[in-house]
Structure 1
């Protein structure tokens, strides 16, 4: 911020005056030569003939000065025309005069800008939020379903040996059975938080690609998912952490899982995707206890009482709480060694009847062990399986476009099954629609303000035309710098429309005021440009210098606003030729037709005086 303020100060007080003098340098007026130059009131030979001639000239000059106001009051235009001509010469800029007299160049420039927007905007890389290099990595992992804690720990220790071999890694921490938000998970899942060194040579994305290759080649049983801290937290607030999410809906789990696997193959084969997951979350083997209603009724035992006793034996029951510091801790009662009980011990656990007698568990229910099964996911009460993936060196828009085309060709959906696209892509589409509405509203407001101020639909149309051409500069800057069109850069394009529209209104106001005083169109154009030249340069150059550190990614958090800064700088660079060249040419085309050329003022003839000797 300090650097930006210092740069803005030097540009505003040193650079702008020099640029203004260079751009507004007037042509030297040629001095007349010959007899007319010599005859300046003192005679043909630059010497007074006598005192009488001098006195006559002085009295004539005095008479001219005294008669000037009276002529202006009578309605003769000599004095006013002289003032207008003098003002025109004062504000006349040679390059402005030459440009506005050839409006074809501006028309070609407008067509070129329209072609640039038509060619570039569909080819821009698109994303949702700006990418940041946070210097930290979140690595989520899952070992195969049913893997014990000891085996999961052994696999992770092998992965840790690979992590410490990466030279950019400064430190790491691991959680197993829980996540970074300290949510309880399965014992075969958890995450790593990896801190990187500040003086590293590779970016975070490059380090992630290296770690992914090392872990997947050494521990193929581990399912890993890489991300960054802020992105992971924002993903928790949204529908999913992963930018790519393809939801498969359907009633039959077997058919739905088969379709999810087909979608997974399509996403895996798409270039620029990584950490692809088919969405089928397998749980480990489980104990299935199914009570026999007839046996329960025979012994007078209700299903609720049976479930309560079984819950107390295996999982425990909360019987109260105790205050520990400022936190209440639950007191859970359960049978001894319940977590380590074998299947035979579980079948022999006693169940108390209402009369005080006991029966074995296997006398009242069937106790079996089921193999791993998949978790059931629902959205809006519909069964759903979500295929997710991350991006690796590719923008979100082009990746999703290719995935949609391939799924449409290769995945045949039976009746009753359909696919929806979620993740960051859905959030991006919704945000872009809202921003497009805001952009259209901004253009309408620019037109409405121009129409309200000048009560001229032609003037409002010219102001709007110049304003909507401004985003072409921002789009070109994004394209040349390979910056995605995301929420930040889209906001910058909207800002450019407002900035150019405001400057165009001020320029037309100067033009309109000069014409209201009776000045010709070309003189009014020259006056409006000369009057607004320095403010335009000051606004554009100061803003560009202030945004330059953000555009270059200098400073902490600069990458978050980098797309916005690049879009605004590109728009401001294009704003100068739009306001100084295109708008004057359009004004001459719109208001200069049918107007007679201004007549140059005729100098009054000098009266001849008779001198008596």
Structure 2
């Protein structure tokens, strides 16, 4: 299957090179043998942007290997997601103690959000372990040959996995010598049933004679959060910002998915991290405004002047919102940090100008003339510091 993906990457003109890792990835946890990743490097000079190339690769890979689940994260975003334990922008966590209900609702949620424009790389979070075979010992046969079920299990395990019978010393290292049967003798059910067993009494029989082979279906891999059982449906947005995408997603889920009282839905992933960051930054902004106002009161020994500077900083938010609207930038963590920095610059400029106004008034100038003189004398340092901060941010 991965050979087909390699061929698709080789046929894509924008791809400069790639590497494949099977059974490994950039995540912090150990990956299973049925997972892996491709690290793809695109050419610097290309006709299409990254999003267009990813869209084409996603369509071709899903068409060539429909049984494989693909996702196309950026390297930096993937690493940040792993460090914050938020592998995807969207995680819809369904909590319930009913495993059958979790499976049903996870599939329902995945089908609902998959139909939303801009939602890609949808995974229902249902990981089913492979089917297995269980050997149930025949107690009567085991007693007749002088063995217990534990002894039978040990005998079969030694035959399949081997036992360490000796060791070899080579230089300053010792290497174990493991004796085991040929893999062909137990890889299939037919050969496993005829695998010989030697009892302590010298009796010889097969696995079929001493145990009953039972088949067990694959079990759903379950995860827990705060001791609550859950299934997490995950997805990404393409061509849609996180805020608008989540608003549309919540509306569709409210119309299409109905949960019983014992089940709940929570939204995690990078969206949850963003909401927590917004709340923290809002608290920091309010705390900073209050502390700055207190410091200004202590500095100027009056309430009115600090209030004027403080209100000027609040009015700076109008310019921030206008700038975001003109440039088409969404309100995110970076823009909120920029707003906080802009308010800090306005505070600093206000302190510079008001301090000079107070200096001119102390020399006997009227308030209006003192303000004009402050604007003239402080224009250069205000522009210098503001432009320095702007260029530093860029």
- 2:32 pairs, out of 175, 181, 185, with 185
SS in 2 for 1:225: coil
1:229 positional shift: 1.4
- Residue 287 of structure 2 is matched in structure 1 by 441
Structure of greater relative contact order (alpha carbons < 8 Å, 6+ residues apart): 1
Residue 228 of structure 1 corresponds to: 74
1:355 to partner: Cα distance: 5.2
Give the direction of change, closer, same or farther, for the CA distance of 1:444–1:347 in structure 2 (3 Å limit).
Answer: same
Deviates more, 1:392-401 or 1:477-486: 477-486
Distance in 2 of aligned mates of 1:420 and 1:370:
33
SS in 1 for 2:183: coil
Please show how residues 19-58 of structure 1 align to structure 2 within 5 Å.
none
1:447 Cα deviation (Å)? 0.8
Question: 1:101-250 maps to which residues of 2 (within 5 A)?
Answer: 155-180=1-26, 183-187=30-34, 189-250=35-96
Cα distance in structure 2, aligned partners of 1:450 and 1:250: 54
**C-alpha separation between the residues in 1 aligned to 2:321 and 2:381?**
25
Give the alignment's TM-score, normalised by structure 1.
0.58
What is residue 379 of structure 1 aligned with on the other side?
225
Pairing 1:231-310 to 2, within 5 Å after superposition: 231-291=77-137, 301=147, 305-310=151-156
Task: Tell me if 1:401 matches 2:247.
Answer: yes
Q: Does 1:503 align with 2:354?
A: no
Q: 1:219 offset after TM fit, Å?
A: 3.0
Distance between the aligned counterparts of 1:399 and 1:324, measured in 2? Answer: 62
Partner of 1:115: none
The secondary structure found in structure 2 opposite 1:383 is strand
CA distance in 1: counterparts of 2:159 and 2:115, whole angstroms: 49
Describe the SS at the equivalent of 2:255.
helix
Q: Which has the larger radius of gyration?
A: 1
Q: Distance in 1 between matches of 2:164 and 2:228?
A: 34
Q: CA deviation at 1:278?
A: 0.9
Change (3 A) 1:405 1:305: farther
Residue 258 of structure 1, CA deviation = 0.9
Give how far 1:328 is off: 10
Residues 476/339 of structure 1: CA separation in 2 closer, same or farther (3 Å cut): farther
Q: Secondary structure, in 3 states, of the residue corresponding to 1:470?
A: helix
1:471 maps onto 2:329 in alignment = no
More displaced stretch, 469-478 vs 527-536? 469-478
CA contact (8 A) 1:169 1:195 kept: yes
Distance 1:543 1:229 in 2: 30
In the other structure, the counterpart of 1:491 is 337
Unpaired runs of at least 5, structure 1:
1-154, 551-613
Alignment counterpart, residue 390 of structure 2, candidates 538, 544, 547: 544
Distance 1:340 1:359, change over 3 A: closer
* Post-superposition offset of 1:249: 1.3
1:343 corresponds to: 189
Which residue of 2 is the match for residue 431 of structure 1?
Answer: 277
How far, CA to CA, are the matches of 1:323 and 1:389 in structure 2?
Answer: 53
- CA shift, 1:251, in A, is 1.8
CA–CA distance in structure 2, aligned partners of residues 479 and 326 of structure 1: 70
Preserved contact between residue 442 and residue 497 of structure 1 (Cα < 8 Å): no
Measured in 1, the distance between the counterparts of 2:135 and 2:32 equals: 23
What's the offset of the Cα at 1:319? Answer: 8.6
Q: Secondary structure at the match of 2:330?
A: coil
Once the 2 structures are TM-superposed, how far is the Cα of residue 356 of structure 1 from its aligned partner?
A: 6.0
Provide closer, same or farther for how the CA distance between residues 459 and 180 of structure 1 changes in structure 2, counting only shifts above 3 A. closer
Give the match's secondary structure for 1:509.
helix
SS of 2:378's equivalent? helix
1:410 and 2:256 matched? yes
CA contact (8 A) 1:266 1:407 kept: yes
Cα separation, 2, equivalents of 1:303 and 1:469: 80
Partner of 1:586 in structure 2?
none
| Number of aligned residues | 393
* Bigger share in strand: 2
Secondary structure of 1:259 counterpart: helix
* CA–CA separation in structure 1 for the residues paired with 2:170 and 2:41: 33
Displacement, 1:275?
Answer: 0.9
TM-score, length basis structure 2? 0.88
Among 366, 375, 384, the residue aligned to 2:212 = 366
